[in-house]
Amino acid sequence: MARSLRSRWFTRPLLAGLATLMLLLMAGAAPAWADYALPPLPYAAEALEPVIDATTMTIHHDRHHAAYVANLNAQIGANPRLAELDLEALQGQIADFPDAVRNNGGGHWNHSQFWTVMAPVGQGGTPSTPLLKAINASFGSLESMQTAFNKAAAGRFGSGWAWLIRKPDGTLAITSTANQDNPLMNLSGIERGTPLLGLDVWEHAYYLRYQNRRPDYIAAWWDLVNWSEVNRRFAAA
Ligand code: MN
């Protein structure tokens, strides 16, 4: 009995002190541990049928994209600067970070972009007058731009992305990146610019419906392009 009372007298202030210390540490650490988050799909998984099937969309978003986000967050401990950078700013400084950040940070930005530049068939609108003017100036016509884009997408060996970008000089260009790289990254060998439209040509993006027929996926995908979002990105570039 006496021992128990003595123990309580001793431990209560100690526990209170520890709790206060923990609260102070958590308050100090909270901003440095802000995680990256998986954005929800802006439409139902089946909304892009028949061009992209619901199963592909679900696996692509809920597993592939979710894994890039989780793996990027797992890098925050070893790379505390990550907690101070938003996802887009990170792309421009990616050379300062290890490959795990490059692959997963790129994967997170690329897919966040990808969901928004697609819309259900018939709901994507059309290129704005200013965008069409810029496309015509750089490629001659919308069809020529699409032909160049298709060639870059089909010609990317292995996994990667095809892009329509606005270059720093104001002209538009088609480019392609490997793996989860993108045109915002400050890496040698990357043609840099503001991405207006990016297409995922990893097999996980199309294999269930198109198997090895990547060109068929690319051709069908134009029916999904959300020109309203591409117009917005062009106006903001
Ligand atoms: Mn993907």
Same domain flag for 148 and 218: yes
Q: What's the pLDDT at 167?
A: 97
Q: What's residue 16's pLDDT?
A: 58
Judge if 87 and 168 occupy the same domain.
no
**Cα of 205 to ligand 1 centre, how many Å?**
5
Taking the centre of ligand 1 as the mean of its atom positions, its distance from the CA of residue 121, in whole angstroms, is 20
Residue 40 in domain: no
Provide the domain limits for residue 67: 58-116
DSSP tag of 34: P
Amino acid at 221: W
In a shared domain, residues 154 and 229: yes
For ligand 1, the distance from its centroid to the CA atom of residue 125, given in whole angstroms, is 24
Query: How many C-beta atoms lie closer than 10 Å to residue 40's C-beta?
Result: 8
Ligand 1 centre distance from Cα of residue 201 (Å): 7
> With 0-12 CB in 10 A as exposed, 13-18 as middle and 19+ as buried, what is 133?
exposed
Please indicate, yes or no, whether residues 63 and 144 belong to a single structural domain of this protein. Answer: no
Same domain, 90 and 156: no
For residue 204, how far is its CA from the centre of ligand 1 (angstroms)? 6
Tokens 């592909």 correspond to 56
Number of separate domains in the chain: 2
pLDDT for 1: 41
Q: Which CATH number covers residue 100?
A: 1.10.287.990
Tell me whether residue 164 is in a domain: yes
Are 106 and 137 within one domain? no
Q: How remote is the CA of residue 62 from the centroid of ligand 1, in Å? A: 11
Q: Is the same domain home to 217 and 140?
A: yes
Which stretches of the chain score pLDDT less than 50? 1-2, 4-5, 24, 27-33
Ligand 1 centroid – CA 235 distance (Å): 26
95 located within any domain? yes
Residue 173 belongs to a domain: yes
Pairing verdict, β 172-178 and 160-166: antiparallel
Do the domain assignments include residue 100? yes
Report phi then psi at 152, rounded to 5: -65, -40
Last residue of one domain, picked from the residues 86, 116, 146: 116
Asked whether residue 112 is domain-assigned, the answer is yes
Identify the burial level of 29 via C-beta atoms within 10 angstroms of its C-beta, where 0-12 means exposed, 13-18 middle and 19 or more buried. exposed
Ligand 1 centroid from CA 108, angstroms: 9
Q: Does residue 203 lie in a domain region?
A: yes
Indicate if 172 and 211 belong to the same structural domain: yes
CA–centroid distance, residue 197 to ligand 1 (Å)? 14
Please say which residue of 83, 116, 149 terminates a domain.
Answer: 116
CA of 200 to the centre of ligand 1 (A): 6
CA of 63 to the centre of ligand 1 (A): 10
Q: At what angle do helices 142-155 and 129-139 cross, to 10 degrees?
A: 70
Note the pLDDT of residue 94: 98
Residues 95, 142: one domain? Answer: no
